[in-house]
Chains A and B, each alone.
Chain A
Amino acid sequence: MENKNKVLLKVENAGVSINDKSLVKGVSFEIKQGEIVTLIGPNGSGKSTTAKIALGIYKKIDGKVKKYTDKIGYVPQKISIDWTLPIRVLDFMTLTEELTQDQINIALNLTGVEHLKDKSLSNLSGGEFQRVLIARAISKKPELLVLDEPVQGVDFKGEIALYELIKQISEKMKCGILLISHDLHVVMSATDFVLCLNGHVCCSGAPHKVVKDSKYKELFGDRASNILSLYEHKHDHTHSQDGTIDQK
């Protein structure tokens, strides 16, 4: 398959300011089919804002965003559903798309929450709700997935399984993924392209290049790079071309 992968999303020099205060500026990247692009950065560095810019949620932005697909699945970071609204997992799954019972079951099964189908959303725990959110986003077979800290509150075992699932989705469904995550292990092992944000793009590139960037070290501290080199070291056999990383 030498098919050139389609570009799904192109963000050019984008930014947004609210009340003359810039939240994030000068962000450029693109996402192709089957590619995982990750945003990392400290709290308040504009990761979620960047995701929202890419999704077209803001009415006024600087720069340009070009979307080449309408099939988008979104897992927001914070979702405050009014619990006065009676809604079951089942109803939530078909929120933006008509799905058959089979499609719903398959998606819920993938994230391990099929048994919660008829439960009320308000009775779910944080981790369960997060799994439902992911199931909903992937059930519509999106071309572009935007995941804003998708595994927050999920137990340790589930976290690994869900990241595995996300990786599979990007490979099997040729889906482009924009991921926001604090888990630097995952970011560095599963990602094709990393943007390191702090109100602007500090550094960006392939994971092994970003870890060595001095700005990255400044932002996350030396330990962050150490953790990562440790990680890469442990899996040295799978990344044999990165011989330079093992400096410890």
Chain B
Amino acid sequence: MLDDFFIRALLAGIGIALITGPIGCFVIWRRLSFFAGTLAHSALLGVTMALVFELNIAFSVFLISAVLAIFLLQLQTKTNLPNDALLGLLAHSSLAIGLVIIGFLTTIRFDVMGLLFGDILAVSQSDLLLIWGGGVFILIILKIIWKPLFASTINYDLAKAEGMNPDRYNAIFTILMAAIIAISIKIVGLLLITGMLIIPAALARNISNNPLQMVILSTIGGLLSILIGLFSSLEFNTASGPSIITAALILFCFSLIKFKKYSELKK
């Protein structure tokens, strides 16, 4: 039957899917997938910092992500380089610095693979508390700022002209993204959190025609990916994190087929 650790893994995965569903939609709408990836890469540096200074890992990852976001804003005003180049620069250099620092930490045994791909089967009860507590918090904030954030996503000038203060909501959203990466890094790992943010939202886009529908479908897609991924990793004894993302990709392919049929029907 199901082991205790497996139920914890399921609960953790479900929690993550519930947060990444709606947030992922905004990541796609705002074209922030590369930015999410950069934040995730910097998480490795966050984890090593936590080990060096004996901080809470989630807190440290959150802090480093926030610093990185501010640094990016500074770079944008100081150079003429395009955004994707700056993001690539930050992503790979923060990853590299993290790995270099790990090299100095000879006294601490460190599982880099676990960090990169996560270890959802090793979720503890306090991790669960962090995911669900943090998750509820993130979703409540998102609910509160939904309207101005959505308006700012559609058009900056329009939102600003009609009194929405888009700068504030863009900043809050960046913080939410850093927070979600901080609480999920241990579960899905830094290479896969971006996948969880993007793939369910992408598949939802293929089969939805309004924003709310896309958010709901994206959440359902994420939940299905978690369930299918985890059960098949149990069945075939594959790595759990990558299994989840593979499941998400398969669902994405299905959404493409459905979309084609739908548009053919319309013709």
Contact = CB atoms under 8 A, between A and B. Distances in A.
Interface residues of A, number: 27
Contacts of B163: 70, 72, 96
A95 B160 contact: no
A86 B153 contact: no
B161 A72 contact: yes
B65 to A, nearest CB: 24
Contacts of A81: 154-155
Given A72-B162, A86-B211, 5 more contacts: A72-B163, A76-B157, A82-B29, A90-B210, A92-B154
A73 B211 contact: no
A146 B157 CA distance: 12
A82 B214 CA distance: 15
Contact of B211 (A56, A72, A85): A85
27 contacts: A55-B160, A55-B161, A57-B157, A57-B161, A70-B163, A72-B163, A74-B157, A74-B161, A74-B162, A76-B155, A76-B161, A79-B157, A80-B155, A82-B29, A82-B31, A84-B29, A85-B154, A85-B211, A86-B205, A88-B209, A91-B210, A92-B154, A95-B154, A96-B158, A96-B164, A120-B209, A146-B161
Contacts, number: 71
A86 B162 contact: no
A84 B29 CA distance: 7
Interface string A50-75: 00100111000000000000101110
A124 B160 CA distance: 24
Given A72-B163, A82-B31, A95-B151, A87 B157 contact: no
A84 B205 contact: yes
Contacts of B214: 86
Given A56-B161, A57-B161, A91-B210, A84 B154 contact: no
Contacts of A76: 155, 157-158, 161
Nearest to A67: B163
B211 A79 contact: no
B131 interface: no
B153 A85 contact: yes
A23 to B, nearest CB: 15
B22 to A, nearest CB: 14
Interface of A is mostly: loop
B211 A91 contact: yes
Contacts of A72: 161-163
Contacts of A87: 154, 210-211
A137 B147 CA distance: 16
Contacts of B11: none
B208 interface: yes
A81 B31 CA distance: 12
Interface string A140-152: 1000001000000
Contacts of B199: none
Contacts of A95: 150-151, 154, 158-159
Interface residues of B, number: 25
Contacts of A146: 161
Contacts of B153: 85
B162 A73 contact: yes
A82 to B, nearest CB: 7
A134 to B, nearest CB: 13
Contacts of B211: 85-87, 91
Interface in B91-148: 147
Contact of B160 (A57, A82, A88): A57
Interface in B206-255: 208-214
A86 B211 CA distance: 6
A16 B29 CA distance: 30
Interface string B163-199: 1100000000000000000000000000000000000
A98 B211 CA distance: 16
B28 interface: yes
A84 B198 CA distance: 13
Contact of B29 (A74, A85, A91): A85
B243 to A, nearest CB: 28
Contact of B158 (A74, A84, A86, A140): A74
Contacts of A82: 29, 31
A146 B205 CA distance: 33
A83 B162 CA distance: 22
B157 A86 contact: no
Contacts of B155: 76, 79-81
A90 B209 CA distance: 11
Given A72-B161, A85-B29, A86-B205, A96 B151 contact: yes
Contacts of B164: 96
Nearest to A119: B209
